[in-house]
Amino acid sequence: MSLTNEKRNQPGEFVLGFLAYLSVEKGYSDATIRSYGTDLEQFEHHLKDKKRSLEKPERVTRDHVRGFLADMHRRQLSKTSMGRKLSSLRAYFKYLLRHKVIGKSPMAGIRNPKQESRHPQFLNVDQVVAMLEIALDPDPEGLRDLALAEVLYGSGLRISEAIGLDLNDLDSDVIRVVGKGSKERMVPLSDASIQRIRRYMEQRHAFLKDDYSEQALFLSVRAGKRLDRRQANRIVAKLGKLAGLPKDVHPHMLRHSFATHMLEAGADLRSVQELLGHKNLTTTQRYTHLDMQHIMQVYDQAHPRAGDESDGKPEQK
C-alpha cells in the first residue's frame, strides 16, 4: 500500500516542535515544512512495524534507518526522493541532539544515495521568445499570464517568489523578492517585464471581487485572491503549448533558462548567484552546462592561439 494513501496520524510533541522550529527559527516556507512533515510521517509508519516511534527517538537505531532506506529501494523511489527523505530525518535528529533529547543520532554513518548527474532543463532563447511573444487576447487574464511569465524569465524567480510578490514589492525597475528562509533580495526587472507589468496593472482591478485591499500582485480569476502555485503552473504550461514547444514547460524551466542564458552571455557566476538567491555557489554551478558548440565559439574568438593553424609544426618555407 502506498504511504500517501494511508490514514494520517497526528504528529507527536517532538515532531510538532521540530516543524515549529523550521517555521519560526529557520523561516522555511509552508510547502517545505509540509515536505518535512510527510517524510517524518512515512518514517514513523516504517517504525510502527518495528514497535518504535519518533516520539521515543532514543530507541530508534541506525538499523531502522537502513531498513527504511531498503524499503524505499524496493518501492523504486528516485535517488532524489530518497536523499530528501534522509535529509529530513537527519535534520530532525540533529534538532533532538541540540535540545539534548538524545545522546547520539541514528543517522551517523548514513549517506544519501549517489545522485545521477542531471543538468537543469532549460529552453533556448528562440523558444523563450516564442513563449513570451504569443499574441494572447489583451484581456486581464492574458495580460496577467504574459506578465507572470516575463517576470519568471526576466528576473529568474522561483514560482513561490513570483506569486508571493505584493504591490509594494515593485519599485520602478527593481523588485523586492522574499526567497528561501525568508531572505530578501532586490532583483532587477527587464524592460520587457516593466512593460508587461504596466499593461497588466491597468487591468488588475478586473480580478478584484469584494476585497479591494488585496495586495498580491498576481491574482486568480475566480477568487480575486493571490494566484496559487497550481494555477501558475497551468499558465506557464499553456503558454508553452501555444508556442508549439516540444516539451512540457514549467515555471522552474524559465528560471533555469534565465540562469543559462545569463552565463552564456558572459555573466559571472557570483552575479548570477546573487540574482537567483542561491546560498551556495555550487548550486549556481549547475548552470555551467554550456553546449560544446558555444564553448568552441567562445574559445575561437577569445583564445590567442585558437586561430593558429600550424598545429605546433614549424612553418614550411
Contact present, 124 and 114 (Cβ < 8 Å): no
- pLDDT classification of 61: cutoffs 50, 70, 90: very high
* Residue 245 included in any domain: yes
Nearest to 205 by CA among 167, 238, 169: 167
Q: Please, which pLDDT band fits residue 114 given cuts at 50, 70 and 90? A: confident
Give the DSSP H or E segment for 178: strand 174-178
Annotate 73-96 with DSSP letters as a single string.
Answer: HHTT--HHHHHHHHHHHHHHHHHH
| Within a domain: 312 | no
Cell of 49: 512495524
| Site of grid cell 530525518 | 89
159-168 burial code (b ≥16 CB/10 A, e <16):
bbbbbbbeee
pLDDT band at 76 (very low <50, low <70, confident <90, very high): confident
**CATH number of the CATH domain containing 52:** 1.10.150
Asked whether residue 231 falls in the same domain as residue 196, the answer is: yes
* 141/28 Cα distance (integer angstroms): 31
Domain total in the chain: 2
Cα separation, 177 vs 160, whole angstroms? 10
Whichever domain contains 212, its CATH number is 1.10.443.10
147 shares its domain with 279: yes
Cα 238 to the center of its chain, rounded Å: 20
Q: Which domain holds residue 247?
A: 125-297
Pairing label, strands 184-188, 170-171: unpaired
- Give the global pTM: 0.60
Q: Higher-confidence residue: 97 or 288?
A: 97
d(CA 36, CA 40): 6
In the predicted model, what is the mean pLDDT of the chain? 84
Residue 103 forms part of a structural domain: no
- 102 residue type, one letter: I
Average pLDDT on 71-81 reads: 88
Question: Do 61 and 144 share a domain, yes or no?
Answer: no
Q: Which residues are catalytic?
A: 158, 180, 252, 255, 278, 287
C-alpha cell at 169: 514589492
Evaluate whether residue 109 is within a structural domain.
no
